Amino acid sequence: MSEITGEVLQQYRRDLHRIPELALEEYETHDYLLNKVKGWQNDTMTIRTVDALPTAILIRFEGKDPQRTLGYRADIDALPVEEKTNLPFASQHAGRMHACGHDVHMTLALAMVQYFSQHQPKDNLIIFFQPAEEAKSGGKVAYDLGLFENEWRPDEFYGIHDQPALPAGMLSTLAGTLFAGTAELTVDVHGVGGHAAYPHLLKDPIVIASELIVQLQTVVSRSVNPIKGGVVSVGKIRGGFTNNVIPDDVHFEGTVRSMTKSGLDVMMTRIRQIAAGVALANDVVIDVSLESGSYLPVENNIKLANNLIDFMTTRDDIAFELAEPAMTGEDFGYLLQQIPGVMLWLGVNDVTHSLHSPQLNIDESALLPGFTALKDFIEWRMNQNV
């Protein structure tokens, strides 16, 4: 019976860190995970892959005396980021990096599979390695494909997310909304271009796009309850090709975020209304796309979260603190709209770099205490009567 040590977890994490892949392209990652899992397979385990979502893996453990089915989810995709850590186990895939810590998420889930293959759980347990969290709504795709029906449906779902700002190994969550719901904003302003010396004969999409971007800032300041808050940020704009020609079109992209689904719906409605008004006032066409996909607010179930918090805070060997809500987006939110559950932060102690930074360098001493705390909670939860 192999022991799960910090060194074992470190090796899993480094192996996975070397092979980052983008959403729905996680084939090498899938093969690594599947090979590990098959090496631990026994009569209590069922391993499931899905042709319609080929990089997903589900493992179901049959409980010894089940009264419920618990679920644990780990996302497996990476970001289109060029790594700049200079680590000896840095990404081997150019322009790809586990800059959001999914290598850590997978490591803890792998350790869960390894542990429960050696210690049959009391309740049924499902471990879900989910593709496409960063893009393409993998959680929603999985749910819509029926992956969580019948004996594969958890009664409760749990998962973690790295937090560089917390000390290594510290767990943190709250009862209620932990992360915001998000929508990706794409706008195309179609004007009439021509010589910059004759703007009166044209319909300048640069000026119109600028007007629209400024107007969008009123969505949060004037259409959202200031106690609840929200975000509308434009992060990309493209238009024009030289200094003395007004282009025909301007394209820009951004993100919209709210701590509630109803708030997100209000913000998206106002964005469309403002864009329509600016288009009418300037006699142009403005195309607006708002895609929320599976990135709904991560709303922790109040009862389950308080139960988990009670466990964490009564254990002297677990570092835990209550979290504050964050505008981070996570597609686990979609699954939590369908199945009650809880997401937690796991501290990885890189206060210099944020998530998605090409220099993010997590503290691997977080791995063992993070795994131990979550594994112990799952076993404790299985021994509760309600």
61-97: pLDDT as tens digits:
999 999 999 999 999 999 999 999 999 999 999 999 9
Active site residues: 75, 134
CA 319 → CA 23, 117, 165, 302, distances in Å? 33, 27, 14, 21
First to last CA, the chain: 32
Domain boundary among 291, 321, 338: 291
- Are residues 115 and 212 part of one domain? no
Q: What is the pLDDT of residue 1?
A: 58
Decide which of 240, 272, 291 is a domain's last residue: 291
Same domain as 274, residue 368:
no
Residue 326: inside a domain: yes
Asked whether residue 26 is domain-assigned, the answer is yes
**Whether residues 134 and 227 fall in one domain:** no
The confidence score (pLDDT) of residue 291 equals 87
In a domain, 1, yes or no: no
- Residue 282 within any structural domain of the chain: yes
Distance CA 32, CA 14 (A): 12
| 25/162 same-domain check | yes
Question: For residue 262, is it within any domain?
Answer: yes
- Do 140 and 35 lie in one domain? The reply is yes
Q: Is 30 annotated as a binding residue?
A: no
Sorted by sequence, the CB contacts under 8 Å of residue 186 that are 6+ apart come out as 251, 252, 253, 288, 289, 290, 291
CATH of the domain at 78: 3.40.630.10
Largest CA distance in the chain: 80
Same domain, 52 and 102: yes
Q: 3-state DSSP: the chain helix, strand, coil percent, rounded to 5?
A: 35, 25, 40
Alpha-carbon Rg of the chain, whole angstroms?
23
> Is residue 134 annotated as involved in ligand binding?
yes
| Mean pLDDT by groups of 10 residues along the chain of 386 residues | 91 98 98 98 97 98 98 98 98 98 98 98 98 95 98 98 98 97 96 98 98 97 90 97 98 95 93 98 98 88 98 97 94 96 98 97 98 98 93
| 331 SS3 class | coil
We report the CATH number of the domain holding residue 280 as 3.30.70.360
Residue 102, annotated ligand binder? yes
Taken in order 221, 175, 124, 2, is the CA torsion positive or negative? Answer: positive
- Whether residue 62 is found in the same domain as residue 167: yes
Residues 317 and 369 in one domain: yes
For the chain, the domain total comes to 2
Looking at the structure, do residues 244 and 220 belong to the same domain, yes or no?
A: yes
Same domain, yes or no, for 96 and 133?
yes
Q: Buried b vs exposed e over 10-31: b needs ≥16 C-beta within 10 Å?
A: bebbbbbbbbbbbbbbbebbbe
Q: Which residue has the tokens 């995970």?
A: 33
SS3 of 326, please? Answer: strand
Label residue 33 exposed, middle or buried (CB < 10 Å: 0-12, 13-18, 19+).
Answer: buried
Same domain, 27 and 98: yes
Of the three residues 291, 308, 323, the one that is the final residue of a domain is: 291
Does residue 148 share a domain with residue 25?
yes
Where in the sequence is the domain holding 190, given as residue range(s)? 180-291
* pTM tops 0.85, yes or no: yes
152 closest CA partner among 376, 339, 336: 339
